Structure 1
Amino acid sequence: MHNTKLDQLRKEWLPEADIRSMQDKMDGGELTAEELVTMYLAEISETDRNINSVLEVNPDAMQIARMLDFERRLNGPRSALHGIPVLLKDNMDTGDKMHTSAGSLALKDHYAAEDAFLVQKLREAGAVLLGKANMTEWANFMSDKMTNGWSSRGGQVKSPYGPIDVGGSSSGSAAAVAANLAAASAGTETTGSIIEPASQNSLVGIKPTVGAISRTGVIPLSVTQDTPGAFGRTVEDALILFRGMTGVDPEDPVTALGAVWDGTDWDAVLDTKALSGARIGVARKIFEREADTGLNDRFDQALEAIRACGAEVVDGIDLGVMEDDLGYDVLLHEFKAALNAYLGRTAPDNPIRTLKDIIEFNNCHPEETLKFGQNMLEESERTSGTLTERSYLEALERNRHLAAETALESAFRKYEINALVFPKDHGCSFGAAAGYPGIAVPSGEGEGGEPFGITFYGRAFSEPLLIGYAFAYEQHVHGRVKPEL
């Protein structure tokens, strides 16, 4: 960088800087949002060539930051996100000069007509939308052979931690924050797509209750399981972004349920003693067949840390259901219906109007788009798109009953536990099918230097409880591992 002051800040302070310290510097006149954006753009230009996590940069980011700096001088900050550069997953509509493509070449020229509701909320909070993050194409529902992090538009997202699985499908959102290319990022999850990349990239990932954050303006996979969420290098950073995206959206009626948090003191949630007296359940049958000795040992160490925080660990819980029992029939049917509805509302000059159009586009450009095939798209296309099939309706009722009632609620009642904890992304299918929240938190390294994390799951809208547990654990363990770039 030509600016020696910023270059020094970028090298000595920016890596692992949290949002609170950014605000302190901006409030104290030591730094501007424009300078913060400038440093992150320099990081992207130098570092992302090896990670491939950022699809495109917002051409207006610098001007937006300058405007927010002026506003801060006149009126003070709007919120804790004022002037903070964040990245958005490439399935979130922005009514600006950035594309929204879900990682696909089929939508590479698609400009959304308006912001997604969550994007509106972030702009209102004063966040600087720095760019769009690469992702596993079509939220990892294109092919069952596709690697996490690959898209025809953006190529392969690589882990900042070396030749390991970067996690999917919010892979770019996670890898970018892990590599210090943005302060925080927004992702989405249908089944594990926030929890897994958070664990794989030594990040905090908040997968909220379905309905906590509006899905309006987000390219969908499932009407019953999709939820946007937040990535941060710390629990506090992830919470700040999560809070900035919440709000009641009339176009997504389930968001009205977020009223249960009215009056919540979110600052008080960040309590180092939050785990004291809590009962945390462990359902080993869910992961013990797949887990190697190293993972089990690392998880047992994490359980000791939870005990050291004052919690009682209730081991040997039987959920009565395995993750494979849930299947993916619900997603097969909902994907076509939801995607066709989204595409049908795009601009009239968009030639891609249906799932069938996507399949045909890919067939016409096989070398660029069909590296892993598209069997999942084709299987979904064979459904009616009306959500009337008996197979769908039975699968929907079965999955929600098995996940919410048979597995989670029964365990909470029977064992009188406050939350469940799993290693990495194990158990994510239950929270996904039930629509319940989870929060992944770093827990150091596993074998070969691969990041290791644990995930707390709770009842619907128990985010304040789970975030408190994650914060107490984070402050005790300090498990975030910075990548060597």
Structure 2
Amino acid sequence: MRSFVRTPLRCAAVAAVSMALLAPVAARADTGPASDGRVAGVDLDGVTIPGLQQAMDAGRLTSAQLTRAYLQRIRQLNPRLHAVVTVNPDAAALARQSDARRRSHQGRGPLEGIPVLIKDNIDTADRQPTTAGSTALLGSRPAKDADLVRRLREAGAVVLGKANMSEWANFRDPDIPAGWSATGGQTRNAYVLDRSPCGSSSGSAVAAAASLAAVTIGTETDGSIVCPSSVNSVVGVKPSLGVVSRGGIVPITARHDSAGPIARNVTDAALTLWAIAGTDPVDPDTAPAAGTLPADWRTILDPNALKGKRIGVWRQGHTGVDADVDRVFEASVQRLKDLGATVVEGTDIPETDTMAGEHMLPAVLTEFKHDLNAYLAATPGTHPRNLAELISYNDRHTATEGTYGSDILQMAQDTHGDLDDPAYRSHRQAATDQARHAIDDTLAAYRLDAIVTPTELPAPAIDYRGEGNAFATSTRASAVAGYPHITVPAGYAGPLPLGLSFLGTRFSDTRLLGYAYAFEQATHARRAPHYLPTLP
């Protein structure tokens, strides 16, 4: 789930936990000067993964050098950003092994030697913890890699470390600010440090924006990839349900959760999505998604992908709210026209607030209790074995977990029945049906290929308190329906980034990525962050 709120917590115990997890950075990072964003003549902010591969194939760069450069950047920038919660103590060794494979022409795949950061709710069977931001899971010892991590390794990636996140993916207490966790502290927006990074994939988005890795992986239940990507000026891909396995990911709900790439450009996002996608017997939703991505990811990189396409414009509730959002969105719509798209006005997706309150929330609370209990029970190590024990842990460990409550956790614990309960099934069916009709009926009525809308407002201050976010519905229908949602940098409100969202029907991931690529190549809107302490 996503959140922009609330007041950040500061306490010595939390700082101590964060320092302990990040100890490998100080111990293993290069002791030379901090990275200036270049290595072997390569600009880490501007280069694509194919560009890095070309440099390594030509012998101008090694994975060891690249990994060392990212470790230097983490060492330099993370004390301000709190985007990385732990660094893989084996990262340097993995990079050397990759270089050896390349020298012997035994590269494993398109990510050979590429350092990748993954969100801290994704299991790795190595010397890194998987905490979901909670000290309750510091003793967790996953028996195997998450399926997507296995695929990253098989593609040759160097798992560089874990990215910070909103604790329990924003599903603990509504007063916890986006990007805060007991294990990682408060993640900061890469562009203006006292602004919210959004969540829950806060660290993944900030790390991608700050070039702390070549690409990162986030997870989304409702906005948790696209919101932080928008406010940190990176590309965020929330795939269709089942394109990427959820096996080995700390869950909220199997009916919404999706993992996807966050990158500085669409090229890297697409390549990485292809690397982590695939069927998994542990996740039955991956079977229907088999074959929905073409064999070659490069086929989507068409700068003319928008020509002749009918693109709907979703304005209701999203324009007339902020002048900068309106300005950037109008320019984006005009660019779509310039690229040959037929822009169709009046194609607003129907409001989903009633569906969310009446059906989605009751369903998700039941699913969370079921899915989290199953995850905790199956994961080796010393940690709470179920939701009730987790709530008790939080109550007993306020020194590290903070004085926040566990209101959402308790709401889930108080649910009755399980996934075979008729009341639950009714809520889930109603929520999913309404969300899918909201999108599919709009696409069909106007014969649309996709819908665009502003992704998010400019990031508010970290300590913002409000009754919610005017853009919550830009993600909700896609999330509940299990449909893809892609955001791409579109412009700025002063130094604060703004994104453009592409939405479509189930398994339209390939088309949306193509449209996002065409828009990106025509606009080149993204610029690197300067880590301003506050707005001028």
When the two structures are superposed, what TM-score results if normalisation uses the length of structure 2? 0.86
Match of 2:13 in 1: none
Which of the numbers 498, 502, 524 marks the counterpart of 1:452?
A: 498
**In 2, Cα distance between equivalents of 1:297 and 1:411:** 25
Match of 2:292 in 1: 261
**In 1, Cα distance between equivalents of 2:507 and 2:411:** 34
Look up the SS of the partner of 1:260 in the other structure: coil
1:17 to partner: Cα distance: 2.5
Look up the SS of the partner of 1:380 in the other structure: helix
Match of 1:373 in 2: 405
Q: 5+ unaligned residues in a row in structure 2: which ranges?
A: 1-29, 457-470, 532-536
1:263 to partner: Cα distance: 4.7
**Superimposed CA distance per residue, residues 207-239 of structure 1 (whole angstroms, 9 cap, x where no aligned partner):** 000000000000000110001010010000111
Match of 1:435 in 2: 482
Look up the SS of the partner of 2:104 in the other structure: helix
**In 2, Cα distance between equivalents of 1:117 and 1:137:** 22
Task: State which drifts further: 367-376 or 466-475.
Answer: 367-376
Task: State which drifts further: 262-271 or 274-283.
Answer: 262-271
**In 2, Cα distance between equivalents of 1:200 and 1:8:** 21
Match of 1:173 in 2: 204
**In 1, Cα distance between equivalents of 2:402 and 2:366:** 22
1:283 to partner: Cα distance: 2.3
Look up the SS of the partner of 2:161 in the other structure: strand
1:248 to partner: Cα distance: 1.1
**Superimposed CA distance per residue, residues 222-281 of structure 1 (whole angstroms, 9 cap, x where no aligned partner):** 110001010010000111111110111111122112223365442121100000011111
1:478 to partner: Cα distance: 0.4
**In 2, Cα distance between equivalents of 1:281 and 1:232:** 25
**In 1, Cα distance between equivalents of 2:299 and 2:145:** 31
Counterpart residue identity of residue 468, structure 1: G
Q: Structure 1 residues 81 and 8 mapped into 2: Cα distance closer, same or farther (>3 Å)?
A: closer
1:109 to partner: Cα distance: 2.2
**Superimposed CA distance per residue, residues 277-301 of structure 1 (whole angstroms, 9 cap, x where no aligned partner):** 1111122224247x22321222111
Match of 1:234 in 2: 265
Match of 2:250 in 1: 219
**In 2, Cα distance between equivalents of 1:482 and 1:317:** 33
**In 1, Cα distance between equivalents of 2:247 and 2:315:** 37
**Superimposed CA distance per residue, residues 151-189 of structure 1 (whole angstroms, 9 cap, x where no aligned partner):** 111110011111222010000011011011000001100
Which of the numbers 45, 64, 74 marks the counterpart of 2:94?
A: 64
Q: Structure 1 residues 73 and 433 mapped into 2: Cα distance closer, same or farther (>3 Å)?
A: same
Q: 5+ unaligned residues in a row in structure 1: which ranges?
A: none
Number of residues of Structure 1 aligned to a counterpart in Structure 2: 481
Do structure 1's residue 473 and structure 2's residue 504 form an aligned pair?
no
**In 2, Cα distance between equivalents of 1:58 and 1:286:** 43
Counterpart residue identity of residue 302, structure 1: S
Q: How does 1:52-201 map to 2 (within 5 A)?
A: 52-162=82-192, 163-201=194-232
Q: Identical aligned pairs, as a percentage?
A: 40
CA contact (8 A) 1:61 1:129 kept: yes
**Superimposed CA distance per residue, residues 299-357 of structure 1 (whole angstroms, 9 cap, x where no aligned partner):** 1111111111111111112433334532322221111110000001011x424100111
Look up the SS of the partner of 2:316 in the other structure: helix
Counterpart residue identity of residue 332, structure 1: L
1:3 to partner: Cα distance: 6.4
1:144 to partner: Cα distance: 1.3
Q: Which has the higher contact order (CA 8 A, sep 6+)?
A: 2
1:414 to partner: Cα distance: 0.5
Q: Structure 1 residues 3 and 165 mapped into 2: Cα distance closer, same or farther (>3 Å)?
A: closer
1:145 to partner: Cα distance: 1.6
When the two structures are superposed, what TM-score results if normalisation uses the length of structure 1? 0.95
1:78 to partner: Cα distance: 2.4
Look up the SS of the partner of 1:284 in the other structure: coil
CA contact (8 A) 1:189 1:228 kept: yes
